[in-house]
Amino acid sequence: MDEREILTRFKAGTLGRDDAARLLNGARQPRTETPFPPPRPDTVQNPDHGVPDAHGASVGPGAFDGDRVLDSRAAADRATSTDLIAVVGIAGRYPLAPDLHAHWDNLLTGRDTSSAVPATRAWLASSAAGRRGHFLDAVADFDPEFHGITPTEAAQMDPQERLFLEVAWDALEDAGYTGSRLDDLTTASGASRALGVFVGAASHDYALLAAGAWTPGAGAIPAAGHWGLPGRLAASLELTGPAQAVDTAECSGLTAVHLAVGALRRGECAAAVAGGVELVLHPARLADGAGEGVGAVVLKPLHRALADGDRVHAVVRDTAGGHRTRPRRPEPRAAEEAHESRETTARRIGSAGAVTGIAALTDAVLQVRNGVRITGGPESAGVPWPRTRDEAGRELPRTATVEIAAESGGTAWAVIEEYTAEPGGTDPGGDGGPLLLSAPTPAHLAATARRLADWLTATADAPADADADADTNAGHPASGPAPAGLARALRVGRAALPCRIALPASRGVTELVARLRHFADTGEAGPEGATADLRDGRGDPLGLDGLPETRDYLIALWRAGHTETLTRLWLNGVGVDWAALEAASPWAAPSQPPPPSARLRRPLWLGADRAREEPEPNG
């Protein structure tokens, strides 16, 4: 019985844990790898041990060596059930904050995010008088074309599902895992695209609205279950990891993180998206102080994240979950910890139901990453957070605890720790390769180019903060990444969609911004640039993707420095795996990730009349 069959039988319940562990140990005995650890219960308590300082097996500069790169990844895959977990991607939308940069600004200033019920929610008008809550903007809007969904189908989807799909994609782009790097997420059993999806949700308002408006002959109404929250993302990306929705009331988002950590430590997936979502759409749930939001993180075992050159926002040391119990906590690693709870979250975004836990965890990550503690109201919202030292004088990483207690009695808990990179790390300089952008339509491509130009201008103009950590002040970056490093991050970390542009990235930020703006305004790439529109299905006219020799041909072009030829092949629809080609070169993700792809949202609500509206750019 080989490893795959053993794992299949265990997951199906026909093989016990002890037998599976024994068989796996025997199956792998001739190899030098560490035996696959037996599964453990979901509630995992992590012994206190230091953050690994090794970056895994390294591959030096030189010619592409596929076997050597694969050996390095295999070494990084030797996980244990006590692994620390890295947060390698993060995204979210919260009241008065369309992204986490705006949310962090709200935390720093102690901004009151409450408001009257948005006028755009006409269906709540009868219950809105005098009510104040913490609401998201434009919850009826969605960009179906970006995700390959028809407008009619999108109008039937719960807006919570649509919002989570967008934010999960943004988190994956932040982590650099919407392109070919997604294929590199493999488990010990050999399954590729082994990304788990865990989502906390607790309400069904959209289905209730549809049921209340239903009349005979009106057709189907939106589904009331939450299976689509993880299932939609898993199906669209052809993922092989677990996909699970969870409802533990206010604990839901943090419980999703706990389940993801357990799945990673058991080797069920190589990375995981975990998050939560809450919208108040039904009049019966509209109450003073109600809150909304959507958030997601991308998680990987820390040792593997370091070996793969991922950006680490923070480290999850431990998680737990239960009912009416307070999980055992390790001794504090620092004298001064931040503490996030249901109460602190409610002060910032209201009583936000299922998103409470992921919002609290997000706030903890932002604080340890930026070195600022959020302590209270407007008069003392954000204060500097120096690291403490142990008895030997060594600096200790900043630490935050997150503990959510639901009214139902459920609890969820996590310890978040700052990741301190080795000194001397800088943004990768790149190798002079092209800057590549792609999108589902020409309008999306132009909007994405404009967003990137705006971001480069903002980061280049941002004043340096001498008191902030150079590599962690992501809310207010001191300077933008080098264009060549940014170009490499986009090449290896983003999906290749039908409408494409290639621009030189070696002329400096000013010229790159000018080229991006010119394209956004005119649709023309200009000198040394090129575009392609492969929506007609005529990409790869020579059928190179189907030939076994193509991989060796692409490697030979890369070795010889023929990046222009590789770029032309990419523009013509050939599947160029930039991540594999560039894997032999030293790599570290830029400390400032590029902004997410632009969406062209429009209102899509119950009823076909709104589903026919044309999209307009709104980010």
Q: How far apart are CA 233 and CA 477, in angstroms?
A: 31
AA letter at 181: R
Q: Mention every residue, 6+ apart, whose C-beta is less than 8 A from residue 171.
A: 89, 90, 91, 273, 275, 296, 297, 298
Q: How far apart are CA 294 and CA 182, in angstroms?
A: 23
- Model pLDDT for residues 363-385, shown as the tens digit of each residue: 999 999 999 999 875 555 789 99
- Model pLDDT for residues 255-287, shown as the tens digit of each residue: 999 999 999 999 999 999 999 999 999 999 999
Per-residue pLDDT band at 43 (split at 50, 70, 90)? very low
Looking at per-residue pLDDT, the higher value among 466 and 166 belongs to 166
Q: How far apart are CA 437 and CA 495, in angstroms?
A: 9
Helix (H) or strand (E) holding 439: strand 435-439
Q: Are 301 and 387 contained in the same domain?
A: yes
Q: Are 33 and 58 contained in the same domain?
A: yes
According to the model, what pLDDT value does residue 82 have?
Answer: 67
According to the model, what pLDDT value does residue 428 have?
Answer: 52
Torsion, Cα 443 444 450 451, to 10 degrees, reads 160
Whether residue 609 lies inside any domain: the answer is no
According to the model, what pLDDT value does residue 360 have?
Answer: 98
Helix (H) or strand (E) holding 353: none
According to the model, what pLDDT value does residue 14 have?
Answer: 47
According to the model, what pLDDT value does residue 378 have?
Answer: 54
Beta-bridge partners for 603: 141
Q: Are 375 and 493 contained in the same domain?
A: no
According to the model, what pLDDT value does residue 462 have?
Answer: 64
Structural domains counted in the chain: 3
Q: Are 458 and 569 contained in the same domain?
A: yes
- Model pLDDT for residues 16-40, shown as the tens digit of each residue: 555 555 555 554 433 333 332 333 3
As a whole number, mean pLDDT of residues 112-141 equals 94
Q: Are 383 and 442 contained in the same domain?
A: no
Whether residue 430 lies inside any domain: the answer is no
Q: Are 394 and 259 contained in the same domain?
A: yes
Q: How far apart are CA 482 and CA 430, in angstroms?
A: 8
Query: Of 581, 574, 582, 566, nearest to 538 (Cα)?
Result: 574
* Residue ranges with strand state E in 82-218: 85-93, 115-116, 132-133, 141-142, 195-200
Q: Are 35 and 121 contained in the same domain?
A: no
Average pLDDT over the chain, rounded to whole?
83
According to the model, what pLDDT value does residue 60 have?
Answer: 32
Q: Among 421-435, 460-474, 541-555, which stretch is predicted with the lowest mean pLDDT?
A: 460-474
* Phi-psi group of 417: left, alpha or beta (phi > 0 → left; psi -120 to 50 → alpha; rest → beta): beta
Q: What length is written for the chain?
A: 619
Q: How far apart are CA 383 and CA 288, in angstroms?
A: 30
Provide the residue range defining the domain that includes 9. Answer: 3-42+52-76
Whether residue 423 lies inside any domain: the answer is no
* Phi-psi group of 34: left, alpha or beta (phi > 0 → left; psi -120 to 50 → alpha; rest → beta): beta
As a whole number, mean pLDDT of residues 436-461 equals 95
As a whole number, mean pLDDT of residues 293-306 equals 97
**Domain harbouring 502, CATH code:** 3.30.70.3290
- Model pLDDT for residues 505-517, shown as the tens digit of each residue: 888 899 999 999 9
Token pair for 320? 């737990």
List, in sequence order, the alpha helices (H) in 269-350: 302-307, 342-349
Q: Are 311 and 398 contained in the same domain?
A: yes
Query: Of 232, 278, 271, nearest to 253 (Cα)?
Result: 278
Whether residue 600 lies inside any domain: the answer is no
The DSSP annotation for 359-423 comes to HHHHHHHHHHHHTEEE-SSGGGSEEE-PPPB-TTSPBPPPEEEEEEE-TTSEEEEEEEE---PPT
> Are 499 and 534 spatial neighbours (Cβ–Cβ below 8 Å)?
yes
Q: Are 209 and 314 contained in the same domain?
A: yes
Cα within 13 Å of Cα(345), Cβ side: 31
Whether residue 617 lies inside any domain: the answer is no
Q: Are 352 and 381 contained in the same domain?
A: yes
Q: Mention every residue, 6+ apart, whose C-beta is less than 8 A from residue 30.
A: none
Whether residue 513 lies inside any domain: the answer is yes
Q: Are 34 and 97 contained in the same domain?
A: no
Per-residue pLDDT band at 591 (split at 50, 70, 90)? confident
Q: How far apart are CA 51 and CA 72, in angstroms?
A: 20
Q: How far apart are CA 355 and CA 252, in angstroms?
A: 7
According to the model, what pLDDT value does residue 332 have?
Answer: 52
Q: State yes or no: pLDDT of 9 exceeds 80.
A: no
According to the model, what pLDDT value does residue 506 have?
Answer: 82
Q: State yes or no: pLDDT of 50 exceeds 70.
A: no
Whether residue 548 lies inside any domain: the answer is yes
Whether residue 401 lies inside any domain: the answer is yes
As a whole number, mean pLDDT of residues 103-122 equals 95
According to the model, what pLDDT value does residue 377 have?
Answer: 59
> Are 78 and 33 spatial neighbours (Cβ–Cβ below 8 Å)?
yes
Q: How far apart are CA 295 and CA 170, in angstroms?
A: 10
**Domain harbouring 176, CATH code:** 3.40.47.10
DSSP 121: -
As a whole number, mean pLDDT of residues 420-431 equals 59
Token pair for 616? 């307009």
Looking at per-residue pLDDT, the higher value among 461 and 568 belongs to 568
According to the model, what pLDDT value does residue 71 have?
Answer: 45
According to the model, what pLDDT value does residue 487 have?
Answer: 94
* 466 three-state secondary structure: coil
Q: State yes or no: pLDDT of 466 exceeds 80.
A: no
Out of 64-68, 245-249, 318-322, the most confident range is 245-249
- Edge-to-edge strand order for the sheet containing 337-341? 243-246, 195-200, 271-278, 293-301, 85-93, 314-323, 410-417, 399-405, 337-341
Q: State yes or no: pLDDT of 541 exceeds 50.
A: yes
The DSSP annotation for 196-225 comes to EEEEE----HHHHHHHHH--TTS------S
According to the model, what pLDDT value does residue 421 have?
Answer: 79
As a whole number, mean pLDDT of residues 141-165 equals 96
| Residue for token pair 């002040």 | 473
- Model pLDDT for residues 467-503, shown as the tens digit of each residue: 444 333 334 444 567 888 899 999 999 999 999 999 9
Percent of the chain residues past pLDDT 70, beyond the cut? 77
Q: Among 193-202, 218-227, 563-572, which stretch is predicted with the lowest mean pLDDT?
A: 218-227
Q: How far apart are CA 222 and CA 443, in angstroms?
A: 30
Beta-bridge partners for 267: none
Q: Give the distance from CA 376 to its chain's centroid.
A: 28
According to the model, what pLDDT value does residue 138 have?
Answer: 95
> Are 448 and 500 spatial neighbours (Cβ–Cβ below 8 Å)?
no
Q: Are 72 and 132 contained in the same domain?
A: no
Q: How far apart are CA 595 and CA 617, in angstroms?
A: 16
Q: How far apart are CA 263 and CA 269, in angstroms?
A: 6
- Model pLDDT for residues 71-98, shown as the tens digit of each residue: 444 444 555 556 899 999 999 999 999 9
AA letter at 494: R
Q: Give the distance from CA 605 to its chain's centroid.
A: 26
Per-residue pLDDT band at 5 (split at 50, 70, 90)? low
Token pair for 375? 């302590």
- Would you call 396 exposed, middle or buried from its count of C-beta atoms within 10 A (0-12, 13-18, 19+)? middle
